[in-house]
Structure 1
Amino acid sequence: MLSKTLQKAFNEQINKEQYSAQLYLSMAAYCESLNLPGIAHWLKEQQREEIGHAMQLYKYIIERGGRVELGVIEQPSLDFKSPTALFQDVLNHERSITASINKLYEKALKENDYASQVMLHGFIKEQVEEEASASEILETLKMAGEKGQALLMLDRQLARRGMG
């Protein structure tokens, strides 16, 4: 049985994952408006992953005899200064999600909830990958700039996400 404290924390994490999905879809729409379909594709893949994370948490709460309680999802940003600024936002957002998952893990540790600790290991591992990926793209954008052939090459590269 999931404690009330952990149930509340897992429900809050579901809300954060759903917000993440909305944020990435908003970012994708921005990139579509700049005619960067590859970057938009990468962001839409990210959006699908976030929905998957929310559903993993949903299923886990149910499996542990808890109740899923969905909250209001805040409206994400609609405009971004540039692709580079957007990926800085992605990295910052992923870091905030990492911090949130770490706090959730700390609560599971405090309550000696071993099942929750094991379940969260996958999320912790995933966050390392998420931050590394966002950081790599951000650094590439900083080196390549936001105009010309280098941006188009990065756009084409990111269009291949999920095709391998």
Structure 2
Amino acid sequence: MALRDKMEKAINDQINAELFSSYLYKSMASWFESQDLPGMANWMNIQAKEEMDHAMKFYDYVIERGGRVIFQAIEAPQSNWESPLDAFKAAYDHEVYISRRIDDLMDMALEEKDHATRIMLNWFVEEQVEEEDNASTNVAKVEMLKDSKRGMYMLDKEFASRVYNPPVAE
């Protein structure tokens, strides 16, 4: 069964949101580099790659269902933050926003009785639980150490240990 127009448009909008997410995290990575926090930049660069993976997962799904991906302009992301804590709080808020968008897509799939899309979206619902948890944990860690230069140095080293794990084909 082909993807319905309404769902195809909504997923195209989500592809744009995921690409913006990647762009936002690259912007955060650049800002962290300018603050001499390469570990935090590493964390955000990996997050940007994951968001690109999410966009491609939606892209592949639209194509698989006989639809067409229509790319849209990507809004310019914020480029400066007051502090590492401010940046990580912004990342958390962004993940909450993306979760709401995924929930809206799920609601639409249920309304449209589009069970294939609903099943595909289950992966994203679970992923967003993980994304929000990671983001809130990062906020808590930075908040704990925000006034300690030595602590921030150690935390930056911890963030540097994150590695990119590309998705495995299903």
TM-score range, shorter chain: over 0.9
The equivalent residue for 1:106 is 107
The equivalent residue for 2:43 is 42
Q: How far apart are 1:12 and its partner, in Å? A: 0.2
What does the per-residue CA deviation read over 1:44-101, in whole Å, with 9 as the maximum and x for residues that have no partner? 0000000000011000000001110011100001111100000110000000000000
1:120, 1:133 → 2: CA distance? 20
1:146, 1:37 → 2: CA distance? 19
Alignment of 1:6-155 (within 5 A): 6-155=7-156
Q: How far apart are 1:140 and its partner, in Å? A: 1.1
Q: Is the contact between residue 39 and residue 155 of structure 1 (CA under 8 Å) also seen in structure 2? A: yes
Q: How far apart are 1:162 and its partner, in Å? A: 1.5
Look up the equivalent residue of 2:38 and give its one-letter code. Answer: P
Q: How far apart are 1:148 and its partner, in Å? A: 1.1
State the superposition RMSD in angstroms. Answer: 1.1
Q: Is the contact between residue 83 and residue 146 of structure 1 (CA under 8 Å) also seen in structure 2? A: no
Q: Is the contact between residue 88 and residue 135 of structure 2 (CA under 8 Å) also seen in structure 1? A: yes
2:95, 2:65 → 1: CA distance? 27
2:45, 2:103 → 1: CA distance? 25
Q: Is the contact between residue 46 and residue 164 of structure 2 (CA under 8 Å) also seen in structure 1? A: no
1:147, 1:24 → 2: CA distance? 24
1:25, 1:112 → 2: CA distance? 37
Q: How far apart are 1:141 and its partner, in Å? A: 1.0
2:23, 2:106 → 1: CA distance? 24
Q: Is the contact between residue 84 and residue 146 of structure 1 (CA under 8 Å) also seen in structure 2? A: no
1:157, 1:163 → 2: CA distance? 14
2:19, 2:164 → 1: CA distance? 24
Q: TM-score, normalised by structure 2?
A: 0.94
Q: How far apart are 1:145 and its partner, in Å? A: 1.3
Q: TM-score, normalised by structure 1?
A: 0.97
Q: Is the contact between residue 29 and residue 40 of structure 1 (CA under 8 Å) also seen in structure 2? A: yes
In the TM superposition, structure 1's runs of 4+ consecutive aligned residues that sit over 4 Å from their partners are none
